[in-house]
Structure formats: structure tokens, C-alpha cells
Structure 1
Amino acid sequence: MSNASQNLPDDPAFLKAMIAALQAENAKMSATLLAHDQLIQTLRLRIAKLKKQVFGKSSEKIEREIQQLELALEDLLIAASENSTRSIDEADEVAASTDAQKQTVTRRRPRVSDKAVRERKELDPGSCCPACGGELRLVGEDVSEILDMIAAQMKVIEVARLKKSCRCCEKMVQLPAPSRPIPGSMAGAGLLAYI
């Protein structure tokens, strides 16, 4: 450690730049770890729910799905343990406490950290009405989120579908939402491929 500190330059501006780069890299790694933790908790909840349903009509399908989810969870736990200082026991305690909290709450979408990298894509229907050719004006937008994995980095792609209305015929125009690999899911194709 002392040997490494002797190799550092004496220029304060260069040292500040090095510190800023290290802080940015640390923030990126923290966001990735947080996203992994959230995904692990989601998979644990899903496995617990499926284990409760295992004695129903289609129990063979559920058992196969449980096995697949447990494999994915195992891979994520290995990746998280390599990158995290938190032990698996602490993660189990956190998951157990969130299990009790989430069982009382109705189904809702998982919250993604505000620190996660976000990308916004706007689907604009244009400036001319397809029905009459009149000028369109912006009325609002519908925003949905897709959680995707890009080169081992979690990123939220925000898809904003702009709503416009024609001044001539008062028709509302909006492009359709892009299709998803799993309908109603936040997971993108890259994340599903990674899992």
C-alpha cells in the first residue's frame, strides 16, 4: 500500500481527476449491485410463491419453473457475492423482512433505484395528422419503463409515447408501445438473456 502511494503523481489536478474517475466507477458498481440485490429479492419472492402453489393441477410446470428460477437465483447470488461485501446471511435476513412486508401489499411493479442509469426514448408520431394531414400539437405522454441489462450494467430504458392532437380534425395520435419479450413485464430482452 505504501509502495502504491509512492507511485502517485504530485500534481493536484491529476489527483483530483483520478479521484473523480474512481468515484464515478464506484457509483456505477454500487448501482449494479443494488439492481442485482433487487433482482435477487424478486426471484426469491417468486420462488416462495410458486412453492406454495406446488400442489395444484399444474404442479409439474410449477416445479420446472421453480428449478429454473432457483438456478437463476444461484447465478445471481454467486455474482453478487463476488462483488459485494455483504454476506449471504444478511441478504437472507433482508429478503425475509421484505417477504413479510410484500405479502401484505397488493401486486405492484418493483421500484428501480434512482441511481440506476436511465435512457429515454421518445416515440413521436410526427407533426402531421395521418388522417387529414393537419398540424399535431403535444397533449401529453404515456411513460413506461423497461429494465434491461447492457454489458453487465443495469439500465432503465424509459419509453415515452408522445400524445398529439390534430388542430383540424381534433383526432388524438400516438404510436403503439413497443412489444416486450414477456407481456406486462419490466424485463427487457438483454436482461432475460443474461438471466
Structure 2
Amino acid sequence: MYKTAENWHFIDMRIALESLPFDPVTLQAMVRDLAGAVDEGQIEIDRLRQMIREFQRARFGRRAETLEPDQLLLTLEVDADQPPLMTPISTTIPDISGTAPIVKPPHRKTLPEHLPRTDVTILPDVTSCPSCGGVLRDAGTTASEMLDWVPASVRVVRINRPKCACRACGTLHQAPAPERITEGCLATPGLIAHVLTSRYCDHLPLYRQSQMLARHGVALARSTLADWVKAAAWWLAPLRDQLMNHVCAGERVFADDTPLPILDPGRGRTRTGRLWAYTRDDRPFGGKGPPAI
């Protein structure tokens, strides 16, 4: 078995060393045959190396450098009359260059354009070249983006209503105060909407919201937040009634009963509450009415 420099190629040339001829002419002919076989093997090695490079480019190269399937079929054409000189190559493509194959980084979506951007500039900690002491000049900027979170903040909206007096008749004019959700309520509609969303969309209890506001230096009892929710429910009742009428007017109404534990103050335990949801969605049946829950 003759072995080439590549440890994964073999040329089948079995020679009985014990019965070599002594005739120089015969020995020269055998050497010429061996040299020709080695040359043919080297040609086959070069051809397979080119195939591997094309496979690597088709698999790991950029999209513009990839090959069409027809091109690979042309590359794989082998003369049927030529005897196989090489052993079968493993389906795993070896790395000829000795370096690991290039792994494409995972595709990551760009950050949304509507988010505000804050620029942070990090200047070099040197004013002159540490190698030669030369003057440093601007050579461009490398920019990258990171996603940040700005914690929620609580602010006070101060409402100023200037007074205007008439010297002729002595009357006083002033813009009316904005209407509040309930008498004496300190919360703006935005804060009440946040409390409702946190409670019923994010399932955040009112006592936890009270604790979160306390960390911002605002002491609000859970009973105060409950009063806000009750007042908001009164304002939203007409919308709820119209929505319920729309749902019940559908040809098909879907209902769901969900039991859930509810705190039962004074008894030291919870009781079972029930949440009923009614849904209308005629789209799967060809209806044109808007869906609602």
C-alpha cells in the first residue's frame, strides 16, 4: 500500500517485496509505472481539493459567491472508465487551510427606529501616539447600539390658572379647573390608566403597585388605588355596556368561565371568584362584524 503525503488518500499499489526481479530493465519499468501512478494520484488529489474549495464556498461563502446546483453537478462529473484511485471521502468536508470554518453569527434584528437615541462618546485615554509620540488625528468613529431601560418616574403636574380682572366692572375671569376622575383625586388620567393596565393586563395587585410607588417616595395606600379603580370603572361603564351589547348581538357568542382565588379580608383565607368572558368573532364564518371580547 503506497501512502501519499495526505493521510486521507491512498493509492492501491501492492508490490511483493520478496519477489522483486533482479533485471534492471524490469525494475526501471516498474519505477516508471510507479511514477506515472503517483502523477495520476496527484492530479486526482488536486481535482478533489478544488471540489472541496467549491463546496466550502457554496456552504460558507457569501451569497454572491455561492454556486448554482448545476455548477456543482458539472464539478462532480467523473470519467466512468477511470479506475478509482482514491478511497471514499467522508461527507464531512475537511479544512485544508488548517483553520476552523467560518461560523456565521446569528441573524439579529436591528433595534426599532422609533426609539429615542442617546449618544455616548468614549474618547481614547491617550493624547499622543504611545508608539512614536506622534499627534493623533481623527480617523473615523465606530458606532454600536445597545438597548437600555429607563425606569418609570413619578412627576407632579402643577396646574396654573391665571386670573384676569376687569377694572371697569370689577369682574374676575379665570379658566375652569380640569375635571378630575373623582372629587379630590390627585391622579391624572395617565396615572389611572397605568394602574388599570398594570392590574388587569399585567396582573399586578394594587398592594404591589403601592409598594412600587413608595420606592419613588410617594406614599399611596392600597385603599386609595382601589378608589381610583372604582371611579375609573364608573367612567368606563357606558363603554362596557356598548361593548356587551355588540358582543351579544352576534349570531354566535363564545363564553368562558375561569375560577380564580380572591382575597377574603377578615377570614384569613381566599374564596373562589369567577371570571366570565364573552367573545364574538364571526370572521371564520364569513361575518363582517368586528370581533370583540
TM-score (normalizing by structure 2):
0.23
TM-score (normalizing by structure 1):
0.33
Going by fraction, where is helix more abundant, 1 or 2?
1
Structure with higher RCO (Cα < 8 A, 6+ apart): 1
**If you compute each CA radius of gyration, which structure gives the higher value, 1 or 2?**
2
